[in-house]
Structure 1
Amino acid sequence: MKLQFKKQAYQTRAVDAVVDCFKGQPDTSGIQYRIDPGYSKKKAPQLESAGFKNADIALTDAQILKNIQEVQRLQNLPQSSALIQNAISPLNLDIEMETGTGKTYCYIKTIFEMNKLYSWTKFIIVVPSIAIREGVDKSFEITADHFQEIYGKKIKSFIYNSKQLHNLESFSSDAGINVMIINVQAFNARGKDNRRIYEELDDFQSRRPIDVIKANRPILILDEPQKMEGRNTLNSLKEFNPLFILRYSATHKTQHNKVHRLDALDAYNQKLVKKIAVRGISVKGLTGTNAYLYLESIEVSRQAPVARIEIEIQETSGIKRKIKKFGKGDNLYDLSGGLDQYRGFVIADINAITDTVEFTNGHQLTAGEATGDVNEMALRRIQIREAIKAHFEKEQRLFQQGIKVLTLFFIDEVAKYRLYTELGEERGEYAMIFEEEYEATLAELKRDLLLNEKYRKHLDSIPVSRTHNGYFSIDKKGRMVDALSTTQSERIESTDQSAYDLILKAKEQLLSFQEPTRFIFSHSALREGWDNPNVFVICTLKHSDNTISRRQEVGRGLRIAVNQLGERQDNPATVHQTNVLTVVASESYKDFVTALQRDISESLSERPRVANADYFEGKILPGDGGNIEVTPKMAKQIYRYLVKNDYTDDNDNIAQPYFEAVKDGTLAPLPDELQPYKGQVFQLIDSVYSDAKLPQVENDRGNKCNPLNSNFEKKEFKELWNRINRKAAYTVHFDSAELIEKCVATLNAELNVTPLQYTIQHGIQADEINHDQMKSGESFKVVETSTENSTISVHSAVKYDLIGKIVDNVQLTRRTVATILADLKKPVFALFRTNPESFISEVSRHIQEQKATVIIEHLSYDATAETHDIDIFTDAQSKQDFSKAGHPLKRHIYDYVITDSKVERTFVGELDTSSEVVVYAKLPKGFSIPTPVGNYNPDWAISFKEGVVKHVYFVAETKGSMSSMELREVEAVKIKCARKFFDEINSKINSDNVKFDVVNSYSKLMEVVGGPPRTG
């Protein structure tokens, strides 16, 4: 396997933010200096040789600050008032990137861009641990070909080793891009090898390595700088004589000039990291009893919910703990073999919605709770079992997609995994428990007759002893050891390095199905440096550690997964269906989530908290047609819009009704003047912090199977399914001349290019000024604001491939696009010069719309003999969030339906109580219609009673708005394609009673099918 990389807009923005801070810096290459030749006691003086160093920064501090402020302004970041200096360097740039978003990739690309624009060639990456160092080194290796394709060159990188100083000679004398990777222990520890960097060495021509390094004026890149803020470390870093410093972290401790922010909220909302789910386990005491109970889960069945409970059972060989299924009315005393502690434990109720079991004696258990005799080892066994179950649940689904699932166990000492005795190497407690629980869970899984045969064979090929492994430091005897020395104060570099070979150096091997390792036990040291994308389950088998935040615990599993081809599974439509990280916690779901969200909230200190006009004013609204600055008038309109619709509270904080409206798609329309910037305005509103915006962590126990019920077997549903179960191929035949004609006519009539604008504010100082006004910046009052059109494009120096840019946007040939532009009556190049970005955006939009119109007019479907497999109704039901399920239904093919909006919830309620409906189904994702603009999945299939209405089978799409003006263009095209698809189906079966339409309520549905209006 070879990991695949691609250009991603969010990473490009991070790179641009850094390089743009140096706009105006001349491209000065080949700055040479004389390398200190040194002197060997055994040889004559060495010959002098030329070295290549970084050119000095030619910009003044004022110019750099101006560049930084512009970068910050474009990202709506707080603006720096000065360059923040420290003991190491007068220039420090902070780049905040959430764990899992590829900060290593970003700074490698930044190195290439700095070389391309400014010819800087010497870089040193400083990391806080050997684990991170090995991970960074691996990143340079696996991205080399990717960047070679983009930049036409490769970086020469090496890990600093005090015994291999020939690399320093090459670092200095080579004119290409050179990168040294070094961990702080290599220059900031007291060991003999660590001191060599500051000593005159005979084997280095009586020179000090640090002197050779500092002569290059390297650019320092600090990876996780918050871990390198000790006084000794800072003093040591100063010795490198850096040109400037770039600081990359998700959690900056000391603030400098921040030029980019991609925090936890941004990463989650942009779907750049995995979604998080928690499987909580808590110990609950039962007064006056030592009855051991563990409620593992509640399963939904066709008859009634059943509870999977672990209890103690009296057997001939003794008392054993076993998991059994229980139903309402079951007496645990009888089923335990008559153990006295279970007297009175008769199940009174099992609730699948709240995940609870109630007993007649008044005790209640929630899924994930253990009661009675629960010691630490019993708790760890439960955690290991739950992690294995979570692993198998994910693996069954993802195996079909070519994605390998990894599970990571953190433990606090090697002895719990491996023991070394006189008899040799033996399994520790956790290893033994793992193998017992793995084999038991696997045996239960294989009893499932519907288990995919290919997956079953894959499981059979993996011995339990080889599917788990431990990755720890190795001593000279080859034994696993804890990562800390006997003094517990410093890492043992010589042994620690060997701990990470497979997980850091052979990452591709670990991701392959051919590698049997799927479960990894490791010391918590792996919290740093682990960046394998396919960790889907994390289980912490260690005592609570207040120095480790919940955010750090989940950090090792946030990266987006890759398949067997090395391709990132980041399709925006499915990314959070595929990429879900389950954390098995030794505390309740509520406690874990509360702590996690507190950690995230505390990391968002820079986020604005108040949504008022002052905050919105002056902010930048980015767009394809150029950036727009929010004027005072626009700021007031945004603020009034929020207040008018109760989207903010009395303190101007974003209120819950706003988030509910976003979720349900019922946001009130913006004022007309703000409509052209609709998306950008809501993005600006979303930048204001609110607790409701914190990542919604799923309860992994709330995900249950939703089996088909007897409605699925009804003849009315069989007939409905037989009628709509057709696949079809589409063809599109259209004349380019017709498309060109339509595009030209539309552009001549509607093309409008917005000139670039700038805002001028005139202010005057107040007659009397107090200290508070001076401090807050309110000593001046704005008396006049005017907006001017720019006559010279700010992009005038940029060379555009005008036709090429439009071709990329509309996917037509260069000849077609060139003909459209040539036939326009409008002054094409005058409009282009007015605002190049706006011209390209508007022309592309109009062409796309006409292309969609032509597609619909010339689209035809041909039904094929192929049909959908009935499995699409079961494949989609593996795990669902029952917190959104509502109540059990009477007429749906599943007992529960998971709705996406308020409109859908209301629609379901009306369908299920309708006397006109026999049976209905929310169509699974597998039922899709191919269209030229992507597959389309209708919402509902409905069968009506004979005689109440003319018998029809209805396929519906539910939308909050019926106005085609409010549908996205692509969505509107898909709906039109669906109409043609069902017309073809009716033709195929010589019938007209399969109807498709868009409705927003049950009453609208009845209007369309021609039935009686609903009363009451």
Structure 2
Amino acid sequence: MKLKFKNQAYQTRAVDAVVNCFKGQPNTAGIGYRIDPGVEKAKDGKLYQETFLHKGWVDEISGFKNSDLSLNEQQLLENIQEVQRLQNLPQSSSLVKTNVSSLNLDVEMETGTGKTYCYIKTIFDMNKRFGWNKFIVVVPSIAIREGVYKSFEITAEHFQEIYNKKAKFFIYNSKQLHNLESFSSDAGINVMVINVQAFNARGKDNRRIYEELDDFQSRRPIDVIKANRPILILDEPQKMEGKKTLDSLKEFNPLFVLRYSATHKTQHNKVHRLDALDAYNQKLVKKIAVRGISVKGLSGTNAYLYLESIEVSRQAPIARIELEIKQDKRIKRKILRLGKGDNLYDKSNELDQYKGFVISDINAVTDTVEFKNGIQLQAGEATGDVNEIVLRRIQIREAIKAHLEKEQVLFHQGIKVLTLFFIDEVAKYRVYTDEGEEGGEYARIFEEEYLDALNELIKDSSIKDDYKKYLESISVALTHNGYFSIDKKSKRMVDPVTKKTSTEADDVDAYDLILKDKERLLSLKEPTRFIFSHSALREGWDNPNVFVICTLKHSDNTISRRQEVGRGLRIAVNHLGERQDNPSTVHQTNVLTVVASESYKDFVAALQSDISESLSERPRIANEAYFTGKVLSVDGENVEVTPQMARQIYKYLLKNDYSDDNDHITQEYHEAVKNETLAPLPEDLEPYNNQIFQLIDSVYSDVKVLEIENDRGAKTNPLNDNFEKQEFKGLWNRINRKAVYSVKFDSSELIDKCVEALNKELHVTPLEYTVQRGIQVAEIEYEKIKSGDGFEILETSNAEYGAKSIHSAVKYDLIGKIAESVQLTRRTVTDILSSIEDSIFEQFKTNPESFISQAIRLINEQKATVIIEHLSYDTIAETHDIDIFTDSQSKQDFSKAGDPLKRHIYDYVITDSKTERNFVTELDTSSEVVVYAKLPKGFSIPTPVGNYNPDWAIAFKEGTVKHIYFVAETKGSMSSMQLREIEKIKIECARKFFDEINHKINPENVKYDVVDSYGKLMEIVR
């Protein structure tokens, strides 16, 4: 299997941010210079010239160093400020210098978003634009070094296709200095990867870089390196900030330094930011779910109990509880499936500690079991005799269960699932004795628990045969493996060698397979699915298909929760090496489950705290000052937010309770975003809709850091007896149709409609400038200065730019720009613009950007109208498979479910908004409703703007209403002004779809409409 790479916009933005800092730098290929040839040495009474006699090089050896920066500090600063301004980052007031370099650029990229890929692409881009060709990647550990080297290997072909050249790369080794000579003498792209220990440690090999070496013609390797004026790329620079390390880096004589990390400790000139929240919101990393395990102390009892989970069945919820059972002369712990009324004293074969433990209630929504003695357990809680090894067994069991649950789904998509166990010593996994090697304690527990889980799964009739066959083909001994350092003499697994002041492994041979053979691990033919490794493995290994992480070690402060989950954040790939990043399904496929040795609540609180600390640079206040001057990119053009626009945005937030009295973003805003019920922006701000909401989302909010799911809250929601009712079958038989659409219209009609709309509605606001006169306040307070309130504004005046706009000198491809955005031919766009009134077209000179964006919006609206008017559906023989009702109900989040329902086809329904929750409550208690269903996502109607999935299908009691069969779309607002254009198009397409199927099955029609409440629904059906 080969990993496949593609150009991604977010990674290109990171590359451009760095490269654009050098705008104006001439493209000069590597500058030639004479490499110090060293001196001849006597050996065995003979003179020889080291290394190069066989190449014919004696006195003159040409090297190619990076050309110097031709930009002065002011030009560099202006470029950096422009890059920062376009990304709405805080602007640097000066170049931040260090003893390593006078130019230091910070690139912040969240773990799992491909920062290694980005700096490799940056290397190629800088070579293409500026001719620079000598780069050194410095890393803090052996593990990261091996991971970086692997990235250069697997991306080589990809970058050759883009740039038509390959980079030469090597790992620095003081005993293989011919690589360093080649690094200097080659005119192509050359990259050295080096870990800090190679030049910053006291060992004999590490000191060689600073010594005159006989086998290097009496030269010092560091002198050969510095002659190249290399560009330094620091990977995880926060781990390389010791004085000794920085002093050593200075010896490299870098042209400048690029620093890549998700967690910069020291700030320099930040030119790009993609933090944890950005990465999650843009769906660039996996979604995180947590399966917590905690120990609960119960006074007055020593009964061992562990509530694993609660299952939803057709009859009533079932609790999976582990308890002790008396068997002959021993006591064994076993998981039983128990229901309401079950007596644990009886189930345990009359063990006294379980007297009084009779189940009185099982709640599938809150994941709790209550006993008649008043004791309550939450899923994931254990009580009684729970020591560390019991806790570890539970963790291993839960990790296996989480793995198998994910694998059942992803196996059929060709996606390999990997689970990663972190342990604190090799002996827990592998034990070596005089007799040989055997599994350690954790390995034995794993095999016992895996076989139990496997046997239970094989018996399950709902599991597909091809997956069962896959499981049965893998030996339990081969499906787990340990990746640790290997002692070269004994060939045994050993704990990594670490310095007393570090938890980073320094072993050169550490993690070979896990770091170098990631493609093999991703193959479904490779039996290894469960990986045990040392907790010292932190940064460095980034296999994309880790779906479960379980930490079987004592908690410490050296590794944060964020670092623990970081090894599994990358987006998964399938068996063809294709990244599974479809925006509509990415967070359904890519969910990382963390099995924690603490409660869900405690783990999430700690993780949220880690993430919040990493977001410390985000703005906290959404006031006018924050929005003013920000840059909005619309159709490739940049527009600066004026004070007037900033005031409109600020008032919009206040009016809709999206910000509070302290100008913090509120929960109401985040709920509206989630439910797609955001109030529309003022009309003149609509062209900048997406960019304005991105600015609002950039403001840090305590109420929404990152959504982290409770993995135990997710469970299967089986169909109940309502699904078998004749009324539902009648409804389903009427709507279970697939269709294709066609659109036929005359372009002259579209042109006429566009001309009419532009003449009537295109109004461009003249560009204005604002002059503010102010004075520094008499008493300056630190907080005022920090918030920008150190000056008092005395007067503000606004004026229009003159007839000659400041943009009038900019050349625009007006026809091309509009044609590209509305997806019409240049001829059609020309016909539209040439037919509008002269006074309307004259507005282009007043404000070109506004004219273009408004014209695009109006033409697209008319295009949508014409499509709807001329769209028709034709039903086809194909229908929806009944499986869409079961496939969509696996692993649902029951925290969003209400009470058990009476008339729905499932016992529980997962609602997305308050409108839906209220709607369900009234449907379920209505005497007119026989049965109803939240339609699964598999039931979709094709439209020109994407597939559409209606919300509800309802069957009413005959004789009570006019329309027996009804399909409803629930929206928080009925006003067409409140609906987004794309929603309106989909709704109109749905009306035509149901008109078509009604025509086929007349007279028993299915009514379709949009409602905002049960009351509105009843108005329509009566």
- Shorter chain as normaliser: what TM range? over 0.9
Corresponding residue of 2:10: 10
Pairwise CA distance, 1:252: 0.7
1:252-401 paired onto structure 2 within 5 Å: 252-316=264-328, 318-401=330-413
Paired residue type of 1:554: V
Please list the CA deviations of residues 200-254 of structure 1 after superposition, one character each: whole Å capped at 9, or x if unmatched.
2222222111111111111111010001111111111111101111111111111
Corresponding residue of 2:420: 408
Please list the CA deviations of residues 21-61 of structure 1 after superposition, one character each: whole Å capped at 9, or x if unmatched.
22222222242222212223142593213222212112221
Pairwise CA distance, 1:426: 0.7
Corresponding residue of 1:218: 230
Moved more, 147-156 or 572-581: 147-156
Corresponding residue of 2:790: 778
Paired residue type of 1:43: Y
Contact 2:538/2:567 (8 A) holds in 1: yes
Q: Does 1:874 align with 2:879?
A: no
Cα 1:478–1:815 shift into 2, 3 Å: farther
Corresponding residue of 1:859: 871
Cα 1:836–1:507 shift into 2, 3 Å: farther
CA distance, structure 2, for counterparts of residue 258 and residue 403 of structure 1? 37
1:240-639 paired onto structure 2 within 5 Å: 240-316=252-328, 318-476=330-488, 477-484=490-497, 493=506, 496-624=507-635, 626-639=637-650
Pairwise CA distance, 1:195: 1.5
Contact 1:484/1:490 (8 A) holds in 2: no
Corresponding residue of 1:29: 29
Q: Does 1:925 align with 2:930?
A: no
Pick the aligned partner of 1:898 from 907, 910, 918. 910
CA distance, structure 2, for counterparts of residue 471 and residue 174 of structure 1? 37
Contact 1:276/1:581 (8 A) holds in 2: yes
Paired residue type of 1:227: K
Size of the aligned set, in residue pairs, is 1006
2:634 aligns to what SS in structure 1?
A: coil
Please list the CA deviations of residues 883-936 of structure 1 after superposition, one character each: whole Å capped at 9, or x if unmatched.
110111111101111011111112111211222111100000111122233221
Pick the aligned partner of 2:69 from 47, 57, 62. 57
Contact 1:123/1:179 (8 A) holds in 2: yes
1:576-975 paired onto structure 2 within 5 Å: 576-624=587-635, 626-735=637-746, 739=750, 757=767, 759-766=769-776, 778=790, 781=793, 783-786=795-798, 789=801, 791=804, 809-811=821-823, 841-842=853-854, 844-975=856-987
Pick the aligned partner of 1:108 from 97, 112, 120. 120
1:268 aligns to what SS in structure 2?
A: helix
TM-score scaled by structure 1?
0.94
Pairwise CA distance, 1:379: 0.5
Cα 1:747–1:154 shift into 2, 3 Å: farther
Please list the CA deviations of residues 827-860 of structure 1 after superposition, one character each: whole Å capped at 9, or x if unmatched.
9999888877666655554554444334333433
Pick the aligned partner of 1:43 from 26, 43, 48. 48
Pairwise CA distance, 1:531: 1.0
CA distance, structure 2, for counterparts of residue 268 and residue 474 of structure 1? 37
Pairwise CA distance, 1:754: 6.9
Cα 1:189–1:310 shift into 2, 3 Å: same
CA distance, structure 2, for counterparts of residue 634 and residue 284 of structure 1? 55
Contact 1:945/1:951 (8 A) holds in 2: no
Moved more, 918-927 or 522-531: 522-531
CA distance, structure 2, for counterparts of residue 320 and residue 61 of structure 1? 74
Identity %: 76
1:183-222 paired onto structure 2 within 5 Å: 183-222=195-234
Pairwise CA distance, 1:559: 1.0
Cα 1:865–1:637 shift into 2, 3 Å: closer
Cα 1:670–1:818 shift into 2, 3 Å: closer
Cα 1:283–1:490 shift into 2, 3 Å: closer
Moved more, 386-395 or 474-483: 474-483
Pairwise CA distance, 1:809: 4.0
Paired residue type of 2:23: K
Paired residue type of 2:101: S
Structure 2: segments with no counterpart, 5+ residues: 42-46, 51-57
1:536 aligns to what SS in structure 2?
A: strand
RMSD: 2.8
2:994 aligns to what SS in structure 1?
A: helix
CA distance, structure 2, for counterparts of residue 850 and residue 584 of structure 1? 53
CA distance, structure 1, for counterparts of residue 144 and residue 290 of structure 2? 27
CA distance, structure 1, for counterparts of residue 149 and residue 840 of structure 2? 50
Paired residue type of 1:609: R
Pairwise CA distance, 1:65: 1.6
Moved more, 109-118 or 787-796: 787-796
Pick the aligned partner of 1:97 from 98, 103, 109. 109
Please list the CA deviations of residues 411-450 of structure 1 after superposition, one character each: whole Å capped at 9, or x if unmatched.
0011111111111111111111111111111111122112
Pairwise CA distance, 1:762: 4.4
Moved more, 549-558 or 643-652: 643-652
Contact 2:141/2:195 (8 A) holds in 1: yes
1:525 aligns to what SS in structure 2?
A: coil
2:915 aligns to what SS in structure 1?
A: helix
Contact 1:821/1:828 (8 A) holds in 2: no
Pairwise CA distance, 1:13: 1.9
Corresponding residue of 1:1014: none
Pairwise CA distance, 1:473: 0.8
Paired residue type of 1:603: S
Pairwise CA distance, 1:193: 1.7
CA distance, structure 1, for counterparts of residue 162 and residue 844 of structure 2? 29
Structure 1: segments with no counterpart, 5+ residues: 1012-1016
CA distance, structure 2, for counterparts of residue 226 and residue 643 of structure 1? 40
1:863 aligns to what SS in structure 2?
A: strand
CA distance, structure 2, for counterparts of residue 98 and residue 503 of structure 1? 22
Contact 2:292/2:600 (8 A) holds in 1: yes
Contact 1:625/1:839 (8 A) holds in 2: no
Contact 1:726/1:866 (8 A) holds in 2: yes
CA distance, structure 1, for counterparts of residue 722 and residue 785 of structure 2? 73
TM-score scaled by structure 2?
0.93
Contact 2:420/2:548 (8 A) holds in 1: yes
2:651 aligns to what SS in structure 1?
A: helix
CA distance, structure 1, for counterparts of residue 934 and residue 123 of structure 2? 51
Pairwise CA distance, 1:664: 3.6
Cα 1:801–1:786 shift into 2, 3 Å: closer
Paired residue type of 1:855: I
CA distance, structure 1, for counterparts of residue 538 and residue 777 of structure 2? 59
Contact 1:707/1:877 (8 A) holds in 2: yes
2:477 aligns to what SS in structure 1?
A: helix
CA distance, structure 2, for counterparts of residue 545 and residue 571 of structure 1? 37
Paired residue type of 2:700: Y
1:83-94 paired onto structure 2 within 5 Å: 83-94=95-106
Moved more, 972-981 or 885-894: 972-981
CA distance, structure 2, for counterparts of residue 134 and residue 622 of structure 1? 39
Contact 1:907/1:1002 (8 A) holds in 2: yes
Contact 1:793/1:835 (8 A) holds in 2: no
Moved more, 194-203 or 713-722: 194-203
